[in-house]
Structure 1
Amino acid sequence: MVAIATAVAIVLVAGPAVLAAAGLSGKSHQTSAATKPATKPDWDVALTINSALLYTIAFNLTFFIQELFLVLPKAMTPGLHPTLFHNNHSWNGDNPLAALFQGTGAVATVLTALACAALLRKTSSTPLRLFLIWMAYCGLFMALPQVVIGALSSGSDVGMAMDYLQLGATTKTIAALLALAVMPLAATWLARPLLALADNPARIATPGTRTRFMFQVATLPVILGTLLVIPFRVPREAIEVVLLPVLVGLIGIVWMQTGAWRLRVPAARGTGAASNLKLLLAVVALLLVFQLLLRPGIAF
């Protein structure tokens, strides 16, 4: 447990703090006259709003995928009768496999994340790339913390699956440390295509402009998107309504923001923002599905 706690402190606090300090140092922001942009590009407000709305959609779709794939294996298991809700699932009956199937939701979100990351290579549309990036982000950062929590708590979803597989304390600790090690790598991996969404090379030409653009395209949208996620999750206890969205948003974005200054992006590939009105309507429609259809529960 000490090893896991130390690694958590490094991943959540020490690592990003070191990156931020290096980024703020005078040397890291020194640029030559040839590379320094003549004027600071205007804030792309439309892209920031696009990103916040797309993050909201991606988070809730990823959570739905997680719960759906927690339910489906149980629905096909004799003796189990699961129900899917907007923010949870439950089941009646008994079967030893139920504990194992508590880990299938995390597996599903990771596979979804990898599929979306692969699709990034096949599209040039900025809104679609943003959606795929946030789907990949939510899929990974909704699953990886569950491995850490599972190593510490047998009552958690992944913890129950670990116990079913009879994983020992050492194996659980190794799994947790590996998950923690992957988090900054995943954040850095997704930060590059986020920076490439700039529609003007000047937005990402220097360490300072890359830091500024990352705040506009990712950090602020995740903060706003996390607030927008909360109505999808009520009513439920506050720790589930608020803590999960905050953790998913925080863990990866701190690495993206503090490390943006040092990343090199091949080219600015932005093609312009989508209609924010259409995206807002999509968010509202998804909220209605969650609250009117899923909230009462769908029995399988």
Structure 2
Amino acid sequence: MQWIVIASLLTVVVGPLLWGAVGVLRSRGAAASLPPRSEWSWRPTLHSTALYAFSFSLIFFIQELFLVVPKALTPGLRPTLFHNNHHWDGDNPLAHLFQGTGALAILLVAIACTVWLKLRPPRGMGWRLFAIWMAFHGYFQSLPQIVVGSVVPQNDVGMAFDYLQLGASTKFALGLMALPLIAALAIGFAKPLLALAPQAGDIATPGRRSGFIFRIATLPALLALPLIIAMRVPGSLDQVAIVPVAEFVIGVWWLQAAA
């Protein structure tokens, strides 16, 4: 367990700091003559804030829904979907396996949105932001569960791992493999977000790219946190705040560092 914790800290804290430091060094010596950039407006930032919050809640609902639906179709189980969580009555060994179907569902949604952005990206900025944030939340609400599930059997994915009778070494390997994938995906989101820049001059230098990512992604994600938390009340601390804050720290820090 301690190795997973150490690797997670390196991935979530040290990695973005080092990547960001490299970006700062690269930004030195920028050309004196630069193309003009557009005037900053609050509208895209607020638009992105609303879509970040909405997409988070939609992805979370999809996860909870697909935690419930397989159980509803299983003899002996009577699941209930309610605010910010789910529960079930009855007993069936498959219940533990189906604790992983929520994470699987939102991972598939994230992949579908990624394909959408790659093959037929929406023309409108709003729809593109929606697809980006749906993919972002899908990945960063599902993949960290693999890391946690590799060391915490009570976690939803951890229960599915135990049902599949995965050994400790296999779970450890899955947790370790998920960490670099999380970092790579976060870095990859910089490209479609930078493509939203109105003018080439807005992202002409590393400093300008970093500023644009801050305005279109990091600041909106930060502003969206109170909205997300408010929508998740009432509930325990881990249900209300830890998930959205952890997702911000895991995903958005890497995204900002990658700019």
TM-score by structure 2 length? Answer: 0.96
Moved more, 68-77 or 229-238: 229-238
Unaligned runs of at least 5 residues, structure 1: 261-300
Deviations 1:55-78 (A, max 9, x none): 011000000000000000000000
Match in the other structure for 2:219: 220
CA distance in 2 between partners of 1:238 and 1:33 (Å): 50
Q: Tell me what 2:24 maps to.
A: 24
Task: Name the structure 2 match of 1:108.
Answer: 105
Provide the rounded CA distance (Å) in 2 between the counterparts of 1:61 and 1:190.
19
Quote the residue 1:274 is aligned against: none
Equivalence for 1:229: 228
Aligned to 2:7: 7
Which ranges in structure 2 are unaligned for 5 or more consecutive residues? none
Once the two structures are superposed, what CA deviation does each residue of 1:104-147 show, in whole Å capped at 9, x if it has no partner? 00000000001111112312211000000000000000001101
Which residue does the alignment assign to 2:35? 37
Q: Give the whole-Å Cα distance in 2 for the aligned partners of 1:29 and 1:117.
A: 33
Across the aligned residues of Structure 1 and Structure 2, the Cα RMSD in angstroms comes to: 1.2
Any residues of structure 2 matched to 1:1-300 within 5 Å, and which? 1-25=1-25, 27-34=26-33, 36-38=34-36, 41-120=38-117, 121-122=119-120, 123-260=122-259
Secondary structure of the structure 1 residue equivalent to 2:189: helix
Partners of 2:184 and 2:61 in 1: CA distance: 25
Q: In structure 2, what is the Cα distance between the partners aligned to 1:242 and 1:195?
A: 29
The answer as to whether partners of 1:44 and 1:216 remain within 8 angstroms in 2 is: no
* Deviation (angstroms), 1:41: 3.6
Number of equivalent positions: 257
C-alpha displacement at 1:10, in angstroms? Answer: 1.3
CA distance in 1 between partners of 2:27 and 2:2 (Å): 34
